[in-house]
Structure 1
Amino acid sequence: MFDYEAALRACARGDRSALQQLYEQESPRLLGVVQRIVRDLALAEDIVHDAFIRIWNRAGTYDQTRGSARGWIFSLTRHLALNAVRNNARHVQMEPDEEGDREHGAIDGWQEQTDAFDWRVNPGRVEACLEQLEPVRRNCVFHAYVDGYSHQEIAQRLGAPLGTVKAWIRRSLTALRECIG
């Protein structure tokens, strides 16, 4: 079993082979996660590269009392991907006549895709399931998945401990899966 904490400690000491081992262990999974977020392979590859540079430079800041080493790596990478999406959304400008064509094409593509949950058959089900969550937990889910905030950003906004926010989101998603299921 791979020892992520030991690899991060070694990176903090300047051991390049530890970074290489970490890269070989996790880069394919990290690339998959990032690609699902940014939906662009070239950008995803750049973000994973940047993530490993950041892992190398910040390995000494990892605190095992705040979570697992692997979780820290994935969180750092996910945050870079979300920031890239936010930054790209601010900079993307479309020509006025292209905008309507793309919007129409996106709607057509969306209608053609099959969904694991048929929204037309059960339109109020998700809303009803969300209503069953405590307001603070529902807000955490919205902040994470609608607003795109990181767990750290949510914790800061709410003035709650990071671990608590992560637990609220995890439990809320489990409850939503069971309710919708």
Structure 2
Amino acid sequence: MADFSEVPDHQLLQQITQEQESALEALYTRYATSVFSLAMFMLRQPPLAEEVTQDVFLNIWRKAATFKADRGEPKAWIMSIAHHRIVDVIRSRRRAPPITEPREFDLLELLPSSGASTEEQVERNLDRERIVKALSNLPEAQQQVVILAYFEGYSQSEMAEKLQQPLGTVKTRVRLAMQKLRTILEDYGTEQS
């Protein structure tokens, strides 16, 4: 396999459109841990999180040509694909009754199969702690909509119905919550430097 360590993400995506499997492998090496972590955080089931991670990279292989560099960074695009896939899984699980209760998982099962380094694991755990801490700084109504939207997969219309609130109120809460979270997380980032 060629050395892709210095190749920018957008070039890897371009190479994927030309069906270069090694470019997909390089992208997988860079982002599988992030995708798996998000899936694990939202789904809390290692086998399901691994399946979602594989689905995301299969989707990247199939749809790399749809990436538009002028609309954002490749990492944001990849994580958006991951988030949408996870939400799809959550919604389908909400419709279908569970066959068995999810079992408790060992800490070791949280590690993705891509072999993330200890440093990456620590960084991922710190990111998770920062997000949870930032979320706790939001007013309860804003916490509620963020949790429903990003961790339980509700659409804004579904949240309005569930919370028995006007859609405009829900949209405002989501927007304000995201603005506050961004500010809080940026502040955490400067504190760490």
- Fold shared, TM-score > 0.5 on shorter chain: yes
For residues 138-170 of structure 1, the C-alpha deviation after alignment (integer angstroms, 9 at most, x for no partner) is 99858734762579xxxxx99xxxxxxx98664
Distance in 2 separating the partners of 1:116 and 1:32: 17
Q: What's 1:27 paired with?
A: 32
SS at match of 2:64: helix
Higher Rg: 1
Correspondence for 1:171: 179
- Report the 3-state secondary structure (helix = DSSP H, G, I; strand = E; otherwise coil) of the residue aligned with 1:76: helix
1:35–1:44 CA contact under 8 A, matched in 2: yes
**Equivalence for 1:111:** none
Number of equivalent positions: 135
User: Contact 2:40–2:49 (CA<8 Å) still a contact in 1?
Assistant: yes
- Structure 1: gaps of 5 or more residues: 99-114, 120-124, 131-137, 152-156, 159-165
Q: Residue 13 of structure 2: SS of its match in structure 1?
A: helix
Q: Distance in 2 between matches of 1:146 and 1:40?
A: 13
Rounded Cα–Cα distance in structure 2 between residues aligned with 1:25 and 1:55: 13
Q: Distance in 2 between matches of 1:52 and 1:33?
A: 14
Cα deviations by residue, 1:14-48 (Å, 9 ceiling, x for unpaired)? 11110011111111221111111111000110111
Equivalent residues of 2:42, 2:151 under 8 A apart = no
For residue 22 of structure 1, what is the amino acid of its counterpart? L
Give the partner amino acid of 2:181. Answer: L
Q: Secondary structure at the match of 1:92?
A: coil
Q: 2:43 pairs with 38, 41, 60, which one?
A: 38
1:40-79 superposed matches below 5 A: 40-79=45-84
Q: For residues 60 and 169 of structure 1, what CA distance do their matches in structure 2 show? A: 33
Residues 79-124 of structure 1: CA distance to partner in whole angstroms, max 9, x if unpaired? 10111011011102589xx9xxxxxxxxxxxxxxxx969x9xxxxx
Distance in 2 (alpha carbons) for counterparts of 1:9 and 1:169: 35
Decide whether aligned partners of structure 1 residues 139 and 60 sit closer, same or farther in structure 2, where only a CA change above 3 A counts. Answer: farther
Distance 2:81 2:99 in 1: 31
Equivalent residue number for residue 139 of structure 2? 126
Supply the distance in 2 between the matched residues of 1:41 and 1:91 (Cα, whole angstroms): 19
What 5-or-longer segments of structure 2 have no aligned partner?
Answer: 1-5, 102-131, 157-166, 169-173, 188-193
Moved runs in structure 1, 4+ residues, more than 6 A? none
User: How many angstroms does 1:64 deviate by?
Assistant: 1.1
Q: Taking structure 2 as the reference length, what is the TM-score of the superposition?
A: 0.55
**Is the 2:87–2:152 contact (alpha carbons within 8 Å) kept by the matching residues of 1?**
no
Quote the offset at 1:175 in angstroms.
5.8
Distance 1:168 1:17, change over 3 A: farther
Indicate the RMSD between aligned Cα atoms, in angstroms.
Answer: 4.0
Match of 2:16 among 1, 11, 29: 11
Query: CA 1:65/1:16 → structure 2, altered by over 3 Å: closer, same or farther?
Result: same
1:79–1:150: 8 Å Cα contact kept in structure 2? Answer: no
Rounded Cα–Cα distance in structure 1 between residues aligned with 2:133 and 2:29: 33
**Cross-structure match for 1:122:** none
